Amino acid sequence: MAPREQLEIDPRRSRVFGEVAELYDATRPGYPEPLVREVLAYAALGRRAALEVGAGTGKATVPFAAAGTPLVCIEPDERMADVLRRNTASSPQVQVEVGPFEDWLPSESRSFGLLLAATSWHWLDPERRWDLVHGALAPGGAVALFWNLQGVRDAELHAALAEVDRRHGMANAPHGEPASSFGDVPGNGGAVPGSWPDAECRRDGRFTDLRAHRFRREHHWATDRYVGHLASLSHYRVLAAEQRERLLAGTARVLDAHGGGIAMEQISDLFLARTR
């Protein structure tokens, strides 16, 4: 499938998550264990540590740490990092550092065996991110980029939610696509158009052994949790407060009228590559 047109990311959106760090942590979905196993098998870290970029509150950090992976986590927001530290308090091999990845320099260049970015790659400077990744990795080191996306299983519910979004000017809700639209190709249907990294990585030329995987799960969200999840998303956070509350209230009414929640196809797409 041809790459979709690159979306111009509003820089305000990368700085809003800390406003709702606890809500983000409580409502955001994590990543499936098979994805974690696939990454670790591919990276074959041995004694080398991993570097996580944009770690947030630890949705990916926690399962990788549970597998025994030593991690240095870079998170630009101190409020998110505070929750991350709490969530990894029982994992002494996790180190948390605060600041933008673009400003962070490893103490020993090209030392990491794995760099991972969980739903954060699209926030990095597209002009510099492959240089930064290559500079942080040891020769043969792996990069793992992955995202969660959702598809609505009920066509009638999808249509009703689409009407609410249209009325309130929301164009990129996670329930914006029916589950049937995603197909089987990793990178198809991503929430951020143009973010799938395959073409960009191939143009860079310093990486090899490119692979892609798609993992599927069924998930049911109760109304309150799903609306909380929406409230933690950047494109909802940047709305005026009154507009956001009207949109969320309308979404909740639709969900309550359809049984008090939403059944979703939870898809996790994984991209892997390694330095030559």
Instruction: Find the CATH number of the domain harbouring 90.
Output: 3.40.50.150
User: pLDDT grade, residue 188 (50/70/90)?
Assistant: confident
Q: Is the pLDDT of residue 6 over 50?
A: no
Residue 126 lies inside a defined structural domain of this protein: yes
Residue 247 lies inside a defined structural domain of this protein: no
User: pLDDT grade, residue 197 (50/70/90)?
Assistant: very high
Q: Buried b vs exposed e over 85-124: b needs ≥16 C-beta within 10 Å?
A: bebbeebeebebebebbeebeeeeeeebbbbbbbbbbbbb
Residue 104 lies inside a defined structural domain of this protein: yes
Each residue's pLDDT tens digit, 210-256: 999 999 999 999 999 999 999 998 889 889 999 999 999 999 999 99
Residue 122 lies inside a defined structural domain of this protein: yes
Structurally, the chain folds into a number of domains equal to: 1
User: pLDDT grade, residue 89 (50/70/90)?
Assistant: very high
Residue 4: the pLDDT is: 31
For the ranges 11-15, 76-80, 193-197, the one whose mean pLDDT is highest: 76-80
Nearest alpha carbon to residue 55 among 101, 93, 106, 23: 101
pTM of the entire structure?
A: 0.90
Residue 167 lies inside a defined structural domain of this protein: no
Residue 136 domain boundaries: 11-150+184-218+266-275
Residue 161: the pLDDT is: 97
Residue 234 lies inside a defined structural domain of this protein: no
The CB density around residue 206, as the number of other CB atoms within 10 Å, is 13
What percent of the chain stands above pLDDT 70?
90
Each residue's pLDDT tens digit, 109-167: 568 999 999 999 988 999 999 999 999 999 999 999 999 999 999 999 999 999 999 99
Q: Is the pLDDT of residue 208 over 80?
A: yes
Q: Is the pLDDT of residue 5 over 50?
A: no
Residue 174 lies inside a defined structural domain of this protein: no
Look up tokens 């740490």; give the residue: 65
Q: At what angle do helices 155-168 and 241-257 cross, to 10 degrees?
A: 160
Residue 261 lies inside a defined structural domain of this protein: no
Q: Is the pLDDT of residue 1 over 50?
A: no
Round to whole Å and give the CA distance between 177 and 159: 10
